[in-house]
Amino acid sequence: MTKKQYMSVRLLSKEHNANIYPTYKDILQTKEQRYPSEIIVSEKCAEVELQSLIDHTITRGTSMDAWIRSLECLLNIAYRMDIKSWQVQKKDKEIVEQRKKYIQEKLKQDLGLLVDIPKPESGTTNDGNSARIFFNNPPAIVAIAGIEQNIIEGFAVILKTIASGFAVNIEAFEAHTTRIVELYVSHYNWYYMPVTVHKLLIHGSTIIQCAILPIRMLSEEASNKDLRNYRQHNARKFSRKQTLEDVIHFLLICRIRLLEDPSFLIYTVDSTSDENGDSNVNSDDD
């Protein structure tokens, strides 16, 4: 969809009192956030520094699961607050279901949140945006779900810290997570701590201090067919530089690819094509 087409659709929706599309400027800003900071594009190639790609991958990927699992953990505690037991017996099932329904309706009514609702294709409505709204409104969550406010606020600080992209004070982070663990155990020792939450609270400081991203775990093949399709359908054609810029941007939006060999320092999309017309992906070390 071109810029003109999008703006026409947005204008038509607004004329029908459906202001559901963001401005084109907001979309451009959101797309910029999906690109690593160190991208170099010329008429011959497009390059992304490996460290920049790693930092970008970590920022986008690893913290999202922590947000969602923390949300689900506190929701499950809230659902079981009346029975104070991790395992729901047959006699308690109706009590838990009634409280779950009440919490879901109140979250939808007060915060516009849809939680724990199965989606037609797969999964549930629990996502990163829902988790952020949940943890950004501790007083409302306390009133609706009855979770301790200090625990909600503590989780919010931890999750925002690991997603910030800044250097973390390990000692302060460890002291904070220890305090939250003590609060969690003192109030909700009847509900087991999920694996992701355990890793976040118990081992978070160690992971931050010692983490080295295993390159091979993120490696994928070059996918020349994908690059050809991106160039054909998702790139501007009025200059080689703009074409390469659009190709690498679309590649980064769809998925982050890293080369198999850790000795590679640059991830490159080369403008040269092979005999089949496919773009080549290679490293400056070739």
| Domain boundaries of the chain, sorted by first residue | 23-55+215-282, 62-210
Pairing of strands 266-273, 39-41: unpaired
* Structure tokens belonging to residue 175: 């002291």
How far, in Å, CA of 189 to CA of 202, rounded?
A: 15
- What's the pLDDT tens digit per position in 31-44? 776 666 667 777 77
Question: How far is 113 from 126, CA to CA, in rounded Å?
Answer: 9
Instruction: List the end-to-end C-alpha distance of the chain, in Å, as a whole number.
Output: 37
Tell me which of 9-13, 40-44, 119-123, 281-285 is least confident.
281-285
Whether the CB-CB separation of 61 and 279 falls below 8 Å is answered with no
Q: Residue 10: what residue type?
A: R
Over 80: is that where the pLDDT of 68 sits?
Answer: yes
Instruction: Compute the distance between CA of residue 170 and CA of residue 256 in angstroms, rounded to an integer.
Output: 28
Q: pLDDT tens across 96-145, in order?
A: 999 999 999 999 999 998 999 888 777 788 888 899 999 999 999 999 99
Tokens of 257: 């690819």
Selected residue with higher pLDDT from 226 and 124: 124
CA within 13 Å, CB half, 240: 11
Measured distance CA(286)–CA(273) in Å, rounded: 16
How high is the pLDDT of residue 263? 40
pLDDT of residue 266: 38
- In the chain, pLDDT over 70 holds for what percent of residues? 73
Query: 179 and 110 in contact (C-beta within 8 Å)?
Result: no
Check whether 264 has a pLDDT greater than 60: no
pLDDT of residue 154: 95
The model's pTM: 0.56
- Smallest Cα–Cα separation from 138: which of 159, 127, 153, 126? 153
Q: For the residues 244-272, what does the mean pLDDT come to?
A: 53
Rounded to whole angstroms, how far apart are CA atoms 254 and 35?
11
Q: Which residue has the tokens 């991106």?
A: 230
Give yes or no for a contact between 150 and 143, defined as CB atoms under 8 angstroms apart.
no
Report residue 210 as tokens: 């010692």
**What type of residue sits at position 83?**
I
